[in-house]
Amino acid sequence: MNTSVAFQGEHGAYSEQAVFAHFGPTASTVPCRSIRDVFESVQEGRVQYGIVPAENSLEGTVNQTYDLLLSSPLKINGEIKQRIVHCLLAIPGTKLENLRMIYSHPQALAQCATFLRSLKAEAIPAYDTAGSAKMIQEKKISDAAAIASERAGELYGLIVLKKNIEDNPENYTRFFVIGHTDSPPTGSDKTSIVFGAAHTPGSLYKALEEFASRGINMTKLESRPVRTTPWEYDFFIDLDGHRTDSACQEAFEAVKNKTTFIKILGSYPRAK
């Protein structure tokens, strides 16, 4: 049986491309309206895995994904880093100079801001890149275009008016694979955790010292507001190594005594 994987967006979304990159072209993909819906689909057993965006190299962290990782029992099972190539898509016969509206996800619009300023068209946020392409095709809008993947254009019978319209060619999105378990050690792994630090001098330093003293490298450190307590923060960290490594286990035990809580979000193979 093919692996079933939920993703946010319509068929042709960048998240769906990440599914095929990780699980192969035979994966059975299930579109979801929101990132929360992806989590719920996995948690309730409707699919085996989910793919969710974690961060973009230009726009930063996808906050909803991290908030849901904190509250969900699901684990990070893998990661994919994917180059994002934006295309301007329209129904056949549409001319670039006749465009009045450009639809896409807010992040895609932001990533193509310089190109959009060169057009005399209104940028209109939508819930999904591929969903914007699908909408233009279904409604046969002749003076509008969508910013989405080239594959979305192929799926919905749209032409590419212009390719590589993103402001920066170093535009990558990191996706997480989420599942009921994380992955076994491979020898080239990362572990993601989150913890809370007390409002006392040096509390964050004392927690991080436990990793540094054991030679554990941190590849990401970011704070997120605690939703229930104003002006308090949780700290999300990515570490080199697997949670079963002795050094990591020792560090996690030591950190428990220096934080208000610690949660291991999962260990997974490092993306190539």
Q: Which residues are catalytic?
A: 173, 175
For the chain, the residue count is 272
Tell me whether strands 87-90 and 159-163 are parallel, antiparallel or unpaired. antiparallel
At a CB cut-off of 8 Å and minimum separation 6, what does 221 contact?
A: 208, 235, 236, 237
Residue 265 structure tokens: 């979000």
Residue 46 structure tokens: 């409707």
Long-range Cβ contacts of 25-28 (<8 Å, 24+ apart): 26/2, 27/2, 27/3, 28/2, 28/3, 28/4
What gap in Å lies between CA 196 and CA 12, rounded to an integer?
38
